[in-house]
Homo-oligomer: A and B are copies of this chain.
Amino acid sequence: MKIAVDAMGGDYAPEEVVLGAIEAVKSYSLDVVLVGDTNKIKEVLNRYGAKDNSHLSIVHASQVIDMGEHPAQAIRKKKDASIVVATQLVKDGACDAVVAPGSTGAAVTAALLGLGRIKGIERPCIATPIPSKKGITVLLDSGANANSKPKHLVEGAIMGSHYAKYILGVDKPTVGLLNIGEEASKGNELAQATYPLLEKLKTISFYGNVEGRDIPKGTVDVVVCDGFVGNVILKFGEGMAMFIIRLVKDTIKSSGFIAKLGALAVYPALRTLKKRLDFTEYGGAPLLGVDGSFIICHGSSKAKAIKNAIRVAGELAQQDVVGHIRKSIEEEEVEQYDSEN
């Protein structure tokens, strides 16, 4: 497997991205093509003694999409942007998957324009693994589409199910529809219209409605919702986790001498916890539904997150998740769903 990595993407590019790639090729049997400013990438490779590593190569790209730019416009204008070139490598068959740290909007646009969509899929969506009591719950769409229709949630249910099966190794993944009550009649218009469609699917195991609390509880393996709700939840969850860990520390600090002594012992445990709650530890979020393996990473990704994302990108390609999705979408005749309702 050969993974194209946008070496110029994210807040810590190219340093942390290149470092993540170096660590990835050390740990996994795959090759990485670093896409971006050759000189800058070389400089980092040299610094870490990796300039002669045969598993690492460079493809030059002269432009970069900045975080502040309008994603769609920037992607259309900058034909030689690193993310565009990296995506093209997969389109051309030179690489098997893309890893894109940085602006989610730019990544989604680059993937849509560069790879196109799987036949029958109208809205690719972002699947984010969220830590739960039972391990991981996949939440999708977590931000690709702000105005989802029932058809898009059906697409998400099928795609998320394959992701859970082939990447997270869940044998028969269950899929829940995010709602504000358990009964089929509950919820907003979108949820009410989606429920009967999910019930009819033959290729997934539909659990029924789930509520917000079911995400950390791990009631189902996959939770589908529209991209607005998913994105809000994701960011709320990240914020809450950091807030609570801060509170734990502060509460311990302010509770007197004995607790402070205890804190010395507990801090290493808290660090472990923080890791478990760190969404980026899981290796980025795949953009499912585009015709190629594509992983989006947080703009704040450091080497470890990049390394994990490269691993997951390799698995996505290796397991042919795109192929499995294509087959289910055909079998379910999703193309015939009315996307207006």
A residues neighboring B (CB under 8 Å): 132-133, 143, 146-147, 178, 180, 186-189, 191, 211-217, 225-229, 231-248, 251-252, 255, 258-259, 261-266, 268-270, 272-273, 276-277
Contacts of A241 in B (CB 8 A): 240, 244
The answer, among B215, B245, B263, B276, for a CB contact under 8 Å with A262, is: B263
Whole-angstrom CA separation of A27 from B132 in the bound complex: 40
- Whether A178 pairs with B232 at a CB distance below 8 angstroms is yes
Contacts of A262 in B (CB 8 A): 261-266
For A180, A215, A217, which residue has the most chain B Cβ atoms within 10 angstroms?
A180
- Whether A180 pairs with B259 at a CB distance below 8 angstroms is no
Q: How far is the CB of A200 from chain B (nearest CB, A)?
A: 23
Whole-angstrom CA separation of A178 from B234 in the bound complex: 13
So how many copies of this chain end up in the complex?
2
- Whether A239 pairs with B212 at a CB distance below 8 angstroms is yes
Q: How far is the CB of A191 from chain B (nearest CB, A)?
A: 8
A-B pairs with beta carbons under 8 Å apart, 9 shown: A180-B235, A216-B236, A217-B239, A228-B229, A247-B277, A251-B269, A251-B273, A252-B266, A255-B272
Whole-angstrom CA separation of A22 from B225 in the bound complex: 44
Q: How far is the CB of A226 from chain B (nearest CB, A)?
A: 8
Q: How far is the CB of A142 from chain B (nearest CB, A)?
A: 10
Whole-angstrom CA separation of A214 from B217 in the bound complex: 23
- Whether A248 pairs with B270 at a CB distance below 8 angstroms is yes
- Whether B212 pairs with A180 at a CB distance below 8 angstroms is no
Contacts of A143 in B (CB 8 A): 180
- Whether B233 pairs with A232 at a CB distance below 8 angstroms is yes
10 closest A-B pairs by beta carbon, nearest first, are A262-B265, A212-B235, A212-B236, A213-B239, A262-B262, A216-B243, A216-B239, A146-B188, A212-B232, A251-B269
Whole-angstrom CA separation of A188 from B226 in the bound complex: 10
- Whether B259 pairs with A269 at a CB distance below 8 angstroms is yes
